[in-house]
Structure 1
């Protein structure tokens, strides 16, 4: 039955909130928008986001970019070896930090999953531990570890590993909680123990998710490793910082291009690994 105009008018009078906002709701929305726009404008003003300053900064940026071209190409194998060694150091730093973080986070994730750990206080305490670890930025951890262990890749590895413990633990525990109960019930119904239910019913469901998280975070840590090198944790970032501080912009641009190519290659290879192990059908979901 198609409603008439009279039916619609009657329904609107009986249930006005279904068809339009009340005056109070409209006033609240207007107040929120005014507050948001006011806060945004105040931030621009407080940070001196003036058009003249932006225009001047763009001019300086253009001059810096002009110094980067043409890119510099080193003429001796010894010079290339220094750059390639630094790139390999950055990749190794990201790889070791990611693996160490995952190794520690894997058992901790079981303590934070509510379908695995039924002890409330232990589960909540573990989860708050995740939050405390993730509250420290990787760069801050690197500065602390550089003070403790000195310059070089070791502080960068430890900074990435500690940061990833909190991230991996949270993501792994959430993956455990989102598993289906039906495989677990099937293992238990066939006489399996709780550990066997975890091994044969839960782990096959979460391992593809864990692998995907590991590969993505490894890509991210390669980029983070570059930043950590700038503060003294070794790798290509250390050489990049040195070239920028000495105004060798053409060499800095060549290093930036190599970093971009390295990240692209790692992203491509990790995509192949995910496709091979997880499967195209699962990645498409």
Structure 2
């Protein structure tokens, strides 16, 4: 039986004008899960709740079976984090960073850190603030790997990286989970990255869960539908998410189950980007 690395059960958080609403998903040990949705959908809020940087209003979060609040110190020993911005002090050198961060972890491995900075070609005496965006991300990864983190949480880590660095980063992630003991939760807008490495997808839209499951199941759950103006019946229009109408015709997103009854229209496979874009424009349609 596959072990659970991360489990959210009915997690909610209320803000003025926004609610993260009963989010539930499970990340099995040894896999990569992509967390997707438009800006403001609730991805970063979800990550901050997992890290107990925000206090949830409802629900339960378990990391390797431990409550993330009741056992916060033990849980955070198991988690490595890479955000979309550097959170180390600009005036620190790479070596200073190890000295400052290592004191917080019971299982810090100096040899691993040395191996990682050599692998990533990080200059030991260069200041954090002088590192490139890609090197800063690699430094955060080196720290995460050096305390033997079993869960890596990434919030938009590849934004602003060049294609070569992004490809190298994705290879690092795939290597990271090879032993079957480690897992990755990967929030990103660059869905082509997820298509390369993600095993599972969780899709949040306007604070609501739309989908959680395998990448294949998500792609198979929806279709792009297109047709002439006369093909758009009132029933079809009601079922389409993100409907776009012109004098020449229409297009939008429809569930695969509903698509079967509209064979007179053009039906195409939807990409992850298609699903996110049309759902965001058209509201929630499961």
When normalised by structure 1's length, the TM-score is: 0.22
When normalised by structure 2's length, the TM-score is: 0.22
Structure possessing the higher radius of gyration over alpha carbons:
1
The answer to which structure has the higher helix fraction is 1
